[in-house]
Amino acid sequence: MIPEFFNHILNYESLSVVGMAKNVGKTVCLRALLNHYAAPDKASQIAVTSIGMDGESTDSLLKTAKPELNFYPGMWVQTSERHYALRRLTAEIVDISRENTACGRLVTARVLTPGKLILSGFAHTQGLRKYIAQMHALGVRTAIIDGALSRMSLASPFVSRAMILCTGAALSKNIGDLVRKTQLQYTLMNLPVFSEKVSEDLAELKGGVYGIDTKGEVHNLHVPSLLQADKHLEKMEPYFRAGCKLYVAGLLNDAFLRFLTGRNPRPDVVVSDFSKLFVSRQVFDAFTRSGSRLCVLQQPEILGVCVNPFSPEGYTLDSSELRGRMSEALGCEVYDILI
């Protein structure tokens, strides 16, 4: 089933295709997307790279068969020297990076004849932003990043504005459990945006806990680590009241939310984006149940959700039931690319 949202990706300057685990259908989704844009007038509008490695015929860990990626004339690709040398297509090189990766420098090229290629690119946010800017300078409308939630910061909306989320049986063999795990991730990706005027200032902060008072002014509370939060309670207590917030400039985990949940009143909490959240459903629900809010500075636009009912371990979930229950839980249409 070709998702309807495939027709709209050119409206976005950057797009990440991310999977909640290995073998949940991310490569199948990306391959279908590339095939959808095979026509010359469309192909020239997109570029593709990967934060890891994708497009190989065999999974490097599980040794199982994987779908390869097809590229078409006009498409732009960025991959390592090692994988560019293994290409099964003709392309014109337009740039070779000065920066080295584990697989050599990165080659940016335009595809001339259809064929297959293994993708591997930058594995840090600065490099991905550079890739997006470079592609736009070449006239590309949408720079696509093949990503993974296991590298959460690289799926951040500060890197890529739009996202396709892939999930599936490899994450859980139980439909109910799979739906619950995906629903939590989808909820965290759609948290309300903290849009006050200090948002840009907060985005520049690299670590620690900050208080935001009722006037919107930001104060460094000099709490160096969430692990030491209980030792700095007196610094945070002035912000445990209506109209105040705490900004966590870094990762937010269950332990800190539990610490705040035990306070009355408790503050709203702001983080950079969903990629900084490592929280469970139970703790998240306990924190928000009494009206406390968890907010983000930026939120990705999730264009669609795709599911893979097949697991490399050999079991298969019912696609129709999975899509139906997932769609009901998320409140959006859910697609199985292979039906």
156 and 67: one domain? yes
151 and 63: one domain? yes
pLDDT tens string 195-208? 888 888 898 898 89
Residue 79: give its domain's CATH number.
3.40.50
| pLDDT class of 155 with cuts at 50, 70, 90 | low
Q: What is the mean pLDDT of the chain?
A: 91
Which residue in 161, 164, 166 sits closest to 14, CA to CA? 161
pLDDT over 80 (residue 151): no
Handedness of CA 226, 229, 232, 234 (dihedral sign): positive
330 and 281: one domain? no
| pTM, full prediction | 0.91
| Residue 298 to residues 86, 89, 189, 284, Cα–Cα distance (Å) | 38, 38, 10, 19
What average pLDDT does the segment 37-57 reach?
87
pLDDT tens string 256-302? 999 999 888 888 999 999 999 999 999 999 999 878 899 999 999 99
177 and 305: one domain? yes
287 and 165: one domain? no
Query: Which domain covers residue 261, as residue numbers?
Result: 199-296
Domains identified in the chain, total number:
2
185 and 257: one domain? no
226 and 243: one domain? yes
Q: How high is the pLDDT of residue 60?
A: 53
242 and 116: one domain? no
d(CA 14, CA 91): 22
Q: Which two tokens stand for residue 272?
A: 């950079």
147 and 259: one domain? no
278 and 232: one domain? yes
177 and 221: one domain? no
| Residue 337 to residues 5, 154, 179, 242, Cα–Cα distance (Å) | 12, 24, 18, 47
Instruction: Judge whether 153 and 129 are in contact, CB under 8 Å.
Output: no
Q: Which two tokens stand for residue 26?
A: 């991310």
Instruction: Judge whether 60 and 337 are in contact, CB under 8 Å.
Output: no
pLDDT tens string 2-40? 899 999 999 999 999 999 988 899 999 999 999 999 999
180 and 278: one domain? no
Radius of gyration of the chain from its Cα atoms, rounded to whole angstroms: 21
Q: How high is the pLDDT of residue 241?
A: 86
Residue 268: give its domain's CATH number.
3.40.140
Instruction: Judge whether 302 and 186 are in contact, CB under 8 Å.
Output: yes
